[in-house]
Amino acid sequence: MARLQDVLLNQFSAANSTLDFTIHDLSMEQLHHIAEGATIGSPASIYFHVSVVEDMVVSVYLKGGPILYDAGNWGEVIPTTQPHRGPSSMEWARTIRYDNMQGVRAYVAAVREQTKTYIESLTDEDFDRQIDFFTGPTAQVNVLTWLAWNTANHTGEIAAIRGLSGMKGLPY
């Protein structure tokens, strides 16, 4: 029988590798482009948003601490890429610029490692713990499942943007 930790880690791994595919070959112009009249951000803002949300959920909701972006001084590494401090918006999306792609990738990797380490630390009983989530009291396993779904959901947004510009949207 599969362990729940392994199932979740596999979900995150698959979602993250597909997300990474969606930006791997974009030029800086394509990465930051927001179509006129769009109600969706650029691939850069969507990609960063996914990590900001994962950071916030794991750091604040699950671990009860500050976001890794603040605790790790990531603002010094990627000062032109600031997290939203509430719901994201088109105004926020328009501010996202990757002047240091290596720094962005390092932050994303740190967030992913924090999530992986956190999931690995959980016992079967921990998954039932109720979290005061933005949707109301929620079992921790459902918060983590939602988080993996959130990554996949936003990956689809970037894939659609790629498809509309004539590129292959997803790797399969």
Q: What are 26-83's pLDDT values in tens digits? A: 999 999 999 889 999 999 999 999 999 999 999 999 999 999 999 999 999 998 888 8
Give the separation between CA 111 and CA 63, rounded to whole angstroms: 13
Identify whether 75 is part of a domain. yes
At 138-155, the pLDDT tens digits run: 999 999 999 999 999 999
Q: Count CB-CB contacts under 10 A for residue 96.
A: 26
Percentage of the chain lying above the pLDDT 90 cut? 82
Range of the domain at 36: 4-164
Identify whether 83 is part of a domain. yes
> For all residues of the chain together, what is the average pLDDT?
94
Domain with residue 95: its CATH number is 1.20.120.450
Identify whether 110 is part of a domain. yes
Identify whether 172 is part of a domain. no
Identify whether 64 is part of a domain. yes
* Structural domain count of the chain: 1
Identify whether 170 is part of a domain. no
Residues 152/159, Cβ–Cβ less than 8 Å: no
Give the separation between CA 11 and CA 7, rounded to whole angstroms: 6
- State the pLDDT at residue 87: 82
Is this model's pTM higher than 0.75 or not? yes
Identify whether 10 is part of a domain. yes
Per-residue pLDDT averaged across 167-171, rounded?
86
- State the pLDDT at residue 66: 96
Where does 33-131 have alpha helices with state H?
Answer: 43-56, 68-71, 74-77, 90-95, 101-121
